[in-house]
Structure formats: structure tokens, C-alpha cells
Structure 1
Amino acid sequence: MHSNIHVYINDQKVANEDIIKWETKRANIVLKKLGSKPLSQNIMSLRHQLLERKVELGQKRIKKILKNELMLSDQFAKLTAWLSFGLRRYSITEIFVENAQAEQFVEWFEQCGKTNNETTMLAGTPDHYVIATNKDLQEVIETNGGSPLVAKFYIDYEDLSSLRSEIDPSFPLQIAGVARSSDGLAIGGVRHQFRNEKNGFRARLTVEYPLLILPSIISGHQMHLADEFSNWICAAFSWDFQ
């Protein structure tokens, strides 16, 4: 990762080396799932190989490989949401970025959605299989944190209706939306908030899950957020991310 990026989970700073170790482990798992063997354990090599494999397979073949997992995870997500009666549990990671402005990153992220920049979105973390945006609706296939199953959902960035996390007025910028299952059931959402501070900006990254979600998914997704947003921030500012 870049020395300008400082990650905090549960108010404790997370070493960049630990994030790289987490990403390396996940890259090996995902490569195996997609029928490949790692050519190297160097993180840059793993990123390149994994992205190349996903592009080579394409969305249709990836969805075919993951078909059974997606059916199981869809049923589990809907059941968990129904039994939680709209109550939520939050996975939160904070990142402080030196020598950068919040507006620049938010604009970059929104532009990626508008142009459907799938390659850049996929490169955020190994656990991204599909991220495709059509207008304000984003189709996502990914592994959520410590889940044993890959999940599919849709984030509507124009819909904030069922979000439960509070807006912090000290964070004037946000990227937020409701996450729904394929048949439209609200199963969670995201509320990522940003503000400029002295010498940089802070991102408070929040993913909402149904209350009855496994605690391991909550904690695992904190590292997922740390990895994907660190990589996306590096891409947004053209920094080396290793």
C-alpha cells in the first residue's frame, strides 16, 4: 500500500503489511476457485494474474462457475434479512489519506460508475468477481468478508430508503445506497462518508448487514474494505499500491 494511506479498524491502526498479507491469502483462494494456480506470491504479480483471469473468463463464465454458491448465498441472505426484521449490524473501517482531497476521490469513484469501468472496480480486491454499473444500479458478485460463499446483490445509489446507519454531519460527502437481492428484497446497504481534514481526508466506510449475520463476516469485511478502498484510492491518485 502507499505510505499516505492509514487504515483503522475498531480504533486500532492496521499495518499496511497486514492488509497485503490478507490480500495475498484471498488472491490465492480466488485463483483456485477460478481454476488457476498462482505463478508467484508477489502481490503485484498476483493482482495482475487474477485480473487477467477474470477478464479472460468474462461475466458469463464466472457466473457459471459460481452458480451453486450464488443460489445458496441468495437464499441465506434473504432468510437472514427476513429474520432480522430490518435491524442491522455494521462493518466499519476508517481510512485517513494524506495529501489528497475527498472530493477528488468521490468524483473518481462516481466517474468509474458512470463509465462502467469494470476493470478498475474488479482490481479493488481479489474477492470481486463482477462489478458492473448501469446508470445508478451496480451489480456486485463478491465474497463478503469472512463468508464461505460468494454473494450476488445490486446496489442502488439513488435509493437510501432502508439504510439504518446515521449520517454524520461532519462528513459532507457520501457514497451510499441500498443493497437488494435479485428479486428486490433489501438485504443491506453501504454508507461511505468522506470529509477533508488537515493535510488530507478521512473516509468512514460502512456496510450494513442484517442483524443476524455471522460476526465473522462483519470482522472479515472490515479487512475487505481496508483492502479495496486502499487500492481504489491508489488508483484514483495514480499512486503505487504495493
Structure 2
Amino acid sequence: MQRITAIMMENSQAHLAMNLGSNPDHYVLQSIAPTIQEVIEVTGGSPLPTRFFAHYGDEEGLKSTLTTGYKVQAAGSARLENGTIIGGVRHQVKKRRKWLSF
């Protein structure tokens, strides 16, 4: 998760390319503070992008919990520029088993 967090939160051309390339609905993903990321993306099936700020480590208002089987996460509230909570983010990571096929 440390590597993923670095990609999300350390602004560089390489990280920007990875962040935007990870999902075609991402338009802006950039760190504006050590634990705050500005996000512009299409969410919830909306035809238009939404601009919000992911406040990692601040889980105020989050209803979701870490999914069983996952041990690592980057979670936080999603807020408008004025601080209004509009949702949340919960990026979860786990090791994936390699399945053998015969």
C-alpha cells in the first residue's frame, strides 16, 4: 500500500500518467496536501464528472468497512471544496493467489 499511496499522493509526470491511466473516468488526480487528493472523475454512473477532495485517513461519514480478506486500505471522506461530505473512498488491496490450471 505504501507504493500505491506514493503513486496517488506524490505528484510527478509518471504518477500522473499512472493515476489517469488506471481508469478512463479519471480526469484529475493530484495531491494538494500530504493526505488530500483533488479528484475529478465520473462517479456513480453520472454522465458528468464530479470534483471532490479525498481526505485519506479521515473516515468521517463512511458507511463502508474493510472487506473480509483485505488487510490493507487507503480510506477517507470525499468532500466538496467547502468541506461538505459527499461520500467516501476505500481503496483495498490484498495479495492475489495464483490459480494453477492443469
TM-score past 0.5 threshold: yes
Distance 2:81 2:7 in 1: 23
The structural deviation recorded for 1:112 is 0.9
Task: Check if 1:130 corresponds to 2:41.
Answer: no
The structural deviation recorded for 1:164 is 0.7
Q: How many residue pairs were aligned?
A: 95
1:28-61 CA distance string (max 9 Å, x none)? xxxxxxxxxxxxxxxxxxxxxxxxxxxxxxxxxx
Task: Check if 1:113 corresponds to 2:8.
Answer: yes
Q: Could you tell me which of 64, 71, 78 is aligned with 1:179?
A: 78
Name the stretch that deviates more: 121-130 or 177-186.
Answer: 121-130
1:84-140 CA distance string (max 9 Å, x none)? xxxxxxxxxxxxxxxxxxxxxx23311113322222211122221111113110000
Q: Could you tell me which of 195, 199, 207 is aligned with 2:94?
A: 195
The structural deviation recorded for 1:152 is 0.3
Say if 1:196 and 1:151 are closer, same or farther in 2 by CA, change over 3 A.
Answer: same
Say if 1:148 and 1:161 are closer, same or farther in 2 by CA, change over 3 A.
Answer: same
1:175-231 CA distance string (max 9 Å, x none)? 21110011101110112222235338xxxxxxxxxxxxxxxxxxxxxxxxxxxxxxx
Structure 1 length-normalised TM: 0.36
Q: Could you tell me which of 139, 146, 149 is aligned with 2:45?
A: 146
CA contact (8 A) 1:113 1:136 kept: no
Bigger CA radius of gyration: 1
RMSD: 2.0
CA contact (8 A) 2:42 2:48 kept: yes
Corresponding residue of 1:81: none
Relative to its length, the structure with more helix (as a share) is 1
CA contact (8 A) 1:154 1:181 kept: yes
- The 3-state SS of whatever aligns with 2:62 is coil
Structure 1: gaps of 5 or more residues: 1-105, 201-242
CA contact (8 A) 1:142 1:151 kept: yes
Say if 1:197 and 1:121 are closer, same or farther in 2 by CA, change over 3 A.
Answer: closer
The structural deviation recorded for 1:169 is 5.2
Structure 1: 4+ residue segments shifted above 4 A = none
Which structure has the higher relative contact order (CA within 8 Å, separation 6+)?
1
CA contact (8 A) 2:9 2:37 kept: no
